[in-house]
Amino acid sequence: MVAVLQVLVVVAASPLVIGLMRTVRARLEGRVGAGVLQPWRDLRKLWGKEPLRAEGTTWVSVAGPITLLASSLVVAALTPLLGTAGLAGLPGDLFVVVSVLLLGTVALALVGLDAGTAFGGMGSSRHMTIAALVEPTVLLSVYALSIPAGTSVLSGIVRARLDDPVSVLSPVSLLALLALTIAVVAETGRLPVDNPATHLELTMVHEAMVLETSGRDLAWLELGSWMRLSVLLGLLSTLVVPWGIATEVSVTTLALAVVALLAKLTVIAGLLATIEVTLAKLRLFRIPELLAGSFALAFLAVTASYLVVQA
Amino acid sequence: MTAVEWGLAGQLALAGLGVLAALAAPARARVGLTGVLSALVGVAGAVTGIVVLSGGQGRLSLSTSLPLDPMTLEPTALGGFFMLVAGAVGVVAAVYSIGYVHGAAAARPVLAAFPAFLAAMQLVPAAGDLLSFLAAWELMAVASTVLVLAEHASRAEVRRAGLWYAGMTHLSFVLILLGLALLAAHQGGTSWAELATADPDSATAAAAYLLLVVGFATKAGLVPFHVWLPRAHPAAPSHVSAAMSSAMVTMGVYGLLLVVVRLLPGGPTWFGVVLVALGAVSAVYGILQASAASDLKVLLGYSTTENTGLMVLAAGIGLLLREHGAPGAGDAALLACLLLVASHAAFKTALFLGAGAVLSASGQRDLDRMGGLGMRMPVTAVTFGVGALGAAALPVTVGFVAEWTLLQSLIHGARPGDRLIAVVMPVAVAVVALTAGLALLTFVKAAGITFLARPRSEGAATAREAPRPMQVALVLAAAVVVGLGLLPGQLATWAHAAVEAPSAVSDTTAIRLARIDAVLVPLAVATALGLAVALVAALASTAARQAPRRAVDLAWGCGGVRSSARMQYTATSYAEPLVRVFDQALRPQRDVEISHRDESRYLVEQVHFRQSLHDLVEARVYDPLLGFVMRVGAVGRRIQNGSIHRYLGYSFAALVLVLVVVSW
């Protein structure tokens, strides 16, 4: 019930989050921007268009976008965004969530390879390199968060944070959250790792992979990627500011949780967009340094969490 | 006779029949008959393993003419688990061989070695004493050497690989022999039960432990003893590589578990630390080399090093946690070790058999020259893809279940006030996380470059789907990868029994780590994913009614449409960013030659790019060592110049020396 609501809210809100980020960016750059609703209009347009299928492509080009969107839907259902009551028999186990996310990552990388163009391969290669370096950080940092909570179930971690909100200021959680933020930025292809607005051949990562997709295939890919961003930003903000999340299921608490989630998403998306305006994209071969840095932070967080348990 | 005894005797009899069929059957029926009998050997092994795991007991004594105790086969639950794994792999590999074996691999001795090899792998874990263990171990080593050398006449690299393999596998045998002999001499008995009475804290035990660890690590392909793996796998026929990588290599892991769980239980802490260190280094090094490799079988060989590394890491963590006050998490880690063994067996079989199908269809092993095989070989593509998902530990495969269990044991292993654990655990998590990330890239590369995009060579463009028996084996292997991934309960129950972990509450659908309060229901994950996919697919088909898919003859590619297929990304270029990141660890050798046009040096005519990756361990450790041995040999050769006068002189000198010594 909570899970279904979460999926609905994320599906509805994630294009708006993207629209908001684009609008903030446009205003800060002195442009008017297309408006917050533009991503939804784009989706409607893509939905009605016929997809093209180049000769030599396999069923991967058809199934890949569907898999990516499906993985995003499942992740949206499993992550505690509105309530801490998980699905029966399917606890929002961190490792399950991460691996379902990776399933989407792999689907996208295969779509990039399928048409056999130079750009698709390039994007896919870069995407997987970044993913390979991000995954350790994600696992390590949430691992660090899970040691004080004693569980790898995300809702358990969030509940522990609710009971003791000051713990966000502990070194473990600060380090881990910082590392996680960098990982989220890299995983969702935002600046300074990837520029979502570019189509400059030599710098694109995400855009290079989706070059050959069109129509509803592209719609699935875009919506899936946007949902990932929203879910991960929502999770991040919930870990920092756990208030508002529903610990029991009732209409009022859930309504409150939806409002709280939207508020958190607005703030964090606006913040991210503002920071992005001030950043230039990193050279591709400087990205590993950034990711190695975040890996080191996550590793420190794990080590610190052991020291905390010891104390 | 009990069921177990029937099973053991049946394996021996069937293997004997298989060897006989390979040697004596008429040429037309030889391959098929040997394949069927080999598969039956595997079935007998797997069934015996299951009976043992469900509590069956039995003891088969084979008297020898040696003045020693009779050799006994008496499998325990741990052995039963490995028998099951080896047997299951054997069945699939044998079915595959029926459609695959031809040419040099169908010669009589090579054909006869296969059932012997399968039986030997199943007897190693069944052995109840030192003598039968060593006999089975040696049979396994010799039979596999014959199989590796199958194509020695036509390919020079096979001969080199055979030398490396024979050398390393006998190094392993000698070290194990020494280690066990040390224990046996100290204890005065040869059965496992007698050896197990040794005091694990004594100096003898420590020396024996080190010898055994190095011996078994060599067989398991752990760094720095892995050098034979990436050579032997490409050299051997694919059904042999599959059996070697999926089952034989894990016998090294069985050996290590035998030592730490059965022969020297409750040893000092450094026993576990040694295993963790070996496993961690192997896992990271193996997957790094695999991610950079562009030969499909070398890639799979290095990935085997990674996987055995993870198994040994899990075993070491299990030992440490059991002794450091976290028995629940320790049991989970040992359980993870066995699940990794089973999952590796399943997905590596699918991958090696798939690689074999690709190899024989396209004539290529070089990933850089493949592409587009997904259209021409759909069954191989899907089954290889499933294997790759398993190797990348993604849901809903058995690889995911195993890795989940390992990570859970690490999370719940946090111990307050234990400095050693506080240092080891974060490193272990970092290693597991890093290998998981790199494995993802490696297998997207392996599957994507091989089966998607446009063909990069003539061979890839004209490839045909594999023959029926090979397809059956591939589908079987892939079905096990997914089946165990969906319903891991029975496997987990068996693994629990094998490591003698109490409180094993598992039903068929779920893995419950009762003592550390963690549960995984893969079926639920699969249902959620299935629902989501169905929802999106339904939406897509609604949209398809208004706007059907339109076929176009060329991909857009930013306008670079008529570019040649060689402009695509290859395996080498796919891994290039990663190789650059890990430049210091991999040290690739690059040659770039640019030739300019005559008119102007600003106009480039041709660019030659060559990149080769050398195994650093081999270059830094083995090459100097082998160089030293060769130099010693050269000096030795100087005293042997073939002159009869000189040999007479040697005899005379020796006689004088003897007389002098006697008259002293």
Residues in chain B: 664
- CB atoms A99 and B563 under 8 Å: no
What is the distance between the alpha carbons of residues B156 and B220, in angstroms, rounded to a whole number?
A: 25
Say if strands B589-596 and B60-62 run parallel, antiparallel, or are unpaired: unpaired
Residues of chain B with pLDDT under 50: none
| Window from A43-52, A295-304, B139-148, B437-446 with minimum mean pLDDT | A295-304
* A143 vs B: CB within 8 A: yes
* A248 vs B: CB within 8 A: no
Q: pLDDT at position B416, please? A: 60
Give the mean pLDDT of chain B. Answer: 89
pLDDT one-digit tens code per residue, A64-85 = 999 999 999 999 998 888 887 7
Under the banding of pLDDT at 50, 70 and 90, the label for residue A287 is: confident
Cβ burial of A109 (10 Å; 0-12, 13-18, 19+) is: buried
The residue with tokens 């049979």 is B139
Residue B624: count other Cβ atoms within 10 Å of its Cβ. 10
Q: Which residues of A touch B576 (CB under 8 A)?
A: 125
Interface predicted TM-score (ipTM):
0.93
- For residue A194, give the nearest of A307, A264, A280, A73 by alpha carbon: A280
What is the distance between the alpha carbons of residues B587 and B223, in angstroms, rounded to a whole number?
A: 17
Q: Which residues of A touch B453 (CB under 8 A)?
A: 56, 113-116, 120-121
* A202 vs B: CB within 8 A: no
The residue with tokens 């399950």 is A96
- For residue A268, give the nearest of A24, A30, A104 by alpha carbon: A24
Helix (H) or strand (E) holding B552: strand B550-552
The residue with tokens 């690059």 is B590
* B429 vs A: CB within 8 A: yes
Measured in angstroms, the CA of B450 and the nearest CA of chain A are apart by 10
Partner B, chain A 68-97, Cβ-Cβ below 8 Å? 69-71, 73-74, 77-78, 87, 89-91, 93, 95-96
- CB atoms A119 and B558 under 8 Å: yes
Q: Which residues of B touch A74 (CB under 8 A)?
A: 525, 528-529, 532
CA angle, residues B229, B232, B237, in degrees to nearest 5: 130
Measured in angstroms, the CA of B510 and the nearest CA of chain A are apart by 9
Contacts with A126 (C-beta within 8 Å, 6 or more apart), sequence order: A205, A208, A284, B577
Please check whether residue B579 is in contact with residue B588, taking contact to mean a CB–CB distance below 8 angstroms.
yes
Measured in angstroms, the CA of B54 and the nearest CA of chain A are apart by 28
Q: Considering CB atoms only, which of B543, B547, B551 is closest to A53? A: B551
Single-letter amino acid, residue B251: M
Torsion of CA B164, B168, B169, B172, to 10 degrees: 180
> Which DSSP string corresponds to A203-230?
T-SHHHHTTT--HHHHHHHHHHHHHHHH
Integer-rounded Cα Rg, in Å, for chain B is 27
For B309-342, b/e burial (b = at least 16 CB within 10 A) is: bbbbbbbbbbbbbbbbebbbbbbbbbbbbbbbbb
- CB atoms A115 and B449 under 8 Å: no
pLDDT one-digit tens code per residue, B376-421 = 899 999 999 999 999 999 988 999 999 999 988 888 877 666 778 8
- CB atoms A69 and B374 under 8 Å: no
pTM, entire model: 0.93
* B375 vs A: CB within 8 A: yes
Single-letter amino acid, residue A255: A
Contacts with B361 (C-beta within 8 Å, 6 or more apart), sequence order: B373, B376, B377, B380, B463, B464, B465, B466
Q: pLDDT at position B564, please? A: 77
Q: Considering CB atoms only, which of B408, B440, B454 is closest to A131? A: B440
* A151 vs B: CB within 8 A: yes
- CB atoms B569 and A118 under 8 Å: yes
Measured in angstroms, the CA of B426 and the nearest CA of chain A are apart by 6
- For residue B472, give the nearest of B79, B173, B98 by alpha carbon: B98
- For residue B268, give the nearest of B323, B215, B216 by alpha carbon: B323
Single-letter amino acid, residue A230: S
B591 phi, psi to nearest 5 deg: -120, 120
- CB atoms A99 and B375 under 8 Å: no
Give the mean pLDDT of chain A. Answer: 87
Measured in angstroms, the CA of B61 and the nearest CA of chain A are apart by 48
Measured in angstroms, the CA of B287 and the nearest CA of chain A are apart by 12
- For residue B467, give the nearest of B149, B17, B31 by alpha carbon: B31
Q: Considering CB atoms only, which of A110, A116, A215 is closest to B568? A: A116
pLDDT one-digit tens code per residue, A141-175 = 878 888 777 777 888 888 888 888 888 888 888 89
Helix (H) or strand (E) holding B512: strand B511-513
Q: Considering CB atoms only, which of B447, B536, B578 is closest to A132? A: B578
What is the distance between the alpha carbons of residues A144 and B419, in angstroms, rounded to a whole number?
A: 17
Measured in angstroms, the CA of B547 and the nearest CA of chain A are apart by 5
Measured in angstroms, the CA of A119 and the nearest CA of chain B are apart by 7
Torsion of CA A109, A115, A121, A124, to 10 degrees: -10
* B547 vs A: CB within 8 A: yes
Residue percentage of chain A with pLDDT more than 90: 36
What is the distance between the alpha carbons of residues A1 and B37, in angstroms, rounded to a whole number?
A: 55
Q: Which residues of B touch A58 (CB under 8 A)?
A: 374-375, 381, 451-452
Q: pLDDT at position B334, please? A: 92
DSSP-derived secondary structure letter, B467: P
Asked if the model's pLDDT at residue A311 lies above 50, the reply is no
* A5 vs B: CB within 8 A: no
* B449 vs A: CB within 8 A: yes
- CB atoms A69 and B394 under 8 Å: no
The residue with tokens 């930003």 is A233
Say if strands B511-513 and B518-520 run parallel, antiparallel, or are unpaired: antiparallel
- CB atoms A133 and B540 under 8 Å: no
* B502 vs A: CB within 8 A: no
The residue with tokens 């071969």 is A285
- CB atoms B414 and A147 under 8 Å: yes
* A254 vs B: CB within 8 A: no
DSSP H helices in chain A: 2-28, 38-48, 60-78, 94-114, 118-149, 154-163, 171-187, 206-209, 215-240, 251-277, 287-310
pLDDT one-digit tens code per residue, A233-269 = 999 998 888 888 887 888 888 899 999 999 999 999 9
Measured in angstroms, the CA of B209 and the nearest CA of chain A are apart by 31
- CB atoms A52 and B552 under 8 Å: yes
- CB atoms A133 and B553 under 8 Å: no
Q: For B548, name the nearest residue in chain A, comparing CA atoms only.
A: A50
CA angle, residues B279, B282, B283, in degrees to nearest 5: 80
- CB atoms B547 and A151 under 8 Å: no
Measured in angstroms, the CA of A28 and the nearest CA of chain B are apart by 31
Q: Considering CB atoms only, which of A99, A129, A135 is closest to B577? A: A129
Q: Which residues of B touch A296 (CB under 8 A)?
A: none
Q: Considering CB atoms only, which of B519, B555, B568 is closest to A212? A: B555
Peptide bond into B224 cis (omega under 30): yes
Partner B, chain A 18-57, Cβ-Cβ below 8 Å? 47-57
- CB atoms A125 and B575 under 8 Å: yes
Helix (H) or strand (E) holding A52: strand A52-54
Contacts with B533 (C-beta within 8 Å, 6 or more apart), sequence order: A66, A67, A70
Torsion of CA A146, B427, B395, A14, to 10 degrees: 50
What is the distance between the alpha carbons of residues A88 and A90, in angstroms, rounded to a whole number?
A: 5
Tokens of B226: 């892995």
Test mutation, A95, A204, A211, chain B, max B CBs within 10 A:
A95
Helix (H) or strand (E) holding B594: strand B589-596
